[in-house]
Amino acid sequence: MERTFASGEHLFSRWLIFIAGLMIMSFGIAMMIRAELGSAPWDVLHIGLQSQLGLTVGTWSIIIGIFIIGTTSLLLKELPQAGGIVNMVLVGVFIDIFLFLLSTPDLFFMKLLMLLTGIIIIGYGIGIYIAPECGAGPRDSLMIALQEKTGWKVSRVRGIMEITVLTAGWLLGGPVFLGTILFCFGIGQVVGFALPQCRKLVHRFIERGVNSENINQGTVRTNYNDGISKKIR
């Protein structure tokens, strides 16, 4: 049975979990970058821009996010969603903080372990920030907008976006290596495994809070799907 949160249902808890998910995802991104074995396509672009023009990786993430949000708004003729704006700003800030705190291991084995752990953490971070339904990130919103305008399948639109960004980042000197390949082929599997778990736990946590505030509320159900992941695949 599909089910989504009401607009005001335990709003504070939803946004708190949303921000926690963004922080976790950003930590995984920073781990991948510090492993120095290749980064995810969008981070290849951000690092390439940093190497050519300066500024930080997180700053470029925010700048590209602003461009993406503006493009999406023009395509859909809609104002940006609050969740997309919060996502854009906080992910950039968190990435820079974690890059400052983390260092690159000396041994290849430790670099590989850091890389693989980062991919898993990114997958669970995505699952946690999606589950509260506070809005899709800038890149996912653009993907949805392009899919609506072109009529193409989401997988095709996403694939073209990733290849375009990866190529641009590589031409700018961004790190394309083993980690890039592992991310492209592995992140979907990790998110597919993590998202149902995160959704179930988040919904249970939020509804438990709502139920504790209203003793007249009936039995809560925790085994359901919110359907939001269909929009970002």
Q: Choose between 87 and 4: higher pLDDT.
A: 87
Assess whether pLDDT exceeds 90 at residue 153: no
Note the pLDDT of residue 7.
53
Note the pLDDT of residue 225.
43
* Residue 2: CB atoms within 10 Å: 9
| Closest C-alpha to 132, from 54, 23, 42, 21 | 21
| Cα 46 to Cα 81: distance, rounded to the nearest angstrom | 23
Note the pLDDT of residue 98.
98
Assess whether pLDDT exceeds 70 at residue 14: yes
Query: Lowest-confidence range among 63-67, 88-92, 134-138, 220-224?
Result: 220-224
Note the pLDDT of residue 91.
96
Q: What is the pTM of this model?
A: 0.84
Please provide the distance, in angstroms rounded to a whole number, between the alpha carbons at the two ends of the chain.
20
* Residue 184: CB atoms within 10 Å: 16
- Residues 89-134: tens digit of each pLDDT: 999 999 999 999 999 999 999 999 999 999 999 999 999 998 888 8
Structure tokens of 157?
A: 């639109």
